[in-house]
Amino acid sequence: MSKEIKRLILAYPRSGTTSLLRFINKHDGISMGHEGKGNCCDGDISFLEINNHKKFDIVIHVVRNPIDTISSSLVRLADRSLRQLCELTGHARYHYRLHTIMQTWYLFNDMAEQITQVRFNIENLENEYKSFCEHLEIKPHNFHIEKKYNHTPHPDLLMKDFENQDKNLAFKIKQKAIFYGYSRDRYE
């Protein structure tokens, strides 16, 4: 009898994980959960499991452009999730929500980098599909990633909005975004 492979995809909330879950679970024989909900034998797509990553056989880091993630999180991230992120990253919550989200985004992704060897940008996943499947040890299929855009209005933040909160932290987020392959133009 072969060992079941437990997979973990680490991603900050509001990074396209719900669409990613639907996409992965379309593959034959794969059943992953989301944020620890459900009893799925093949793993989880979650930020909550970052400190439990050793119980998984495969761990992958998925990111979304930080400006988009942080903008969406400002409006859509549940207070409970933000508290959990503060606990997981060891970050004390600031009075300003934007600053807390910026800090937890940076710290979470920094932690994920230390744990994982492989990272994918959600915006480019369709182009990297074959490699993504290989790393997850799932068989690729001939269907595309269904992008579910959340149309809940949220502010279109700019780098200057981040700098107004904390210039040093904004610089670190910019450096990480460029390291992840996002365009420098958006961070000027």
Domains of the chain: 7-158 (3.40.50)
Q: What per-residue confidence (pLDDT) applies to 2?
A: 42
Percent of the chain whose pLDDT exceeds 90: 61
Q: What per-residue confidence (pLDDT) applies to 92?
A: 79
Mean pLDDT of 148-173: 83
Mean pLDDT of 106-117: 96
Q: What per-residue confidence (pLDDT) applies to 119?
A: 96
- Spatial CB neighbours of 68, under 8 Å, sequence gap ≥ 6: none
Q: What per-residue confidence (pLDDT) applies to 117?
A: 86
User: What whole-number distance in Å separates Cα of residue 75 and Cα of residue 134?
Assistant: 35
Q: Is the pLDDT of residue 149 over 60?
A: no
Q: What per-residue confidence (pLDDT) applies to 76?
A: 92
Amino acid at 122: I
User: What sign does the CA torsion over 83, 90, 40, 134 have?
Assistant: positive
Strand, coil or helix: 43: strand
Q: Is the pLDDT of residue 1 over 80?
A: no
Average predicted confidence (pLDDT) for the chain: 88
Lowest mean pLDDT among 1-5, 52-56, 155-159, 179-183: 1-5
Q: What per-residue confidence (pLDDT) applies to 84?
A: 95
Q: Is the pLDDT of residue 12 over 90?
A: yes
Query: pLDDT tens digit string along 64-100?
Result: 999 999 999 999 999 999 999 999 999 877 779 999 9
Q: Is the pLDDT of residue 109 over 70?
A: yes
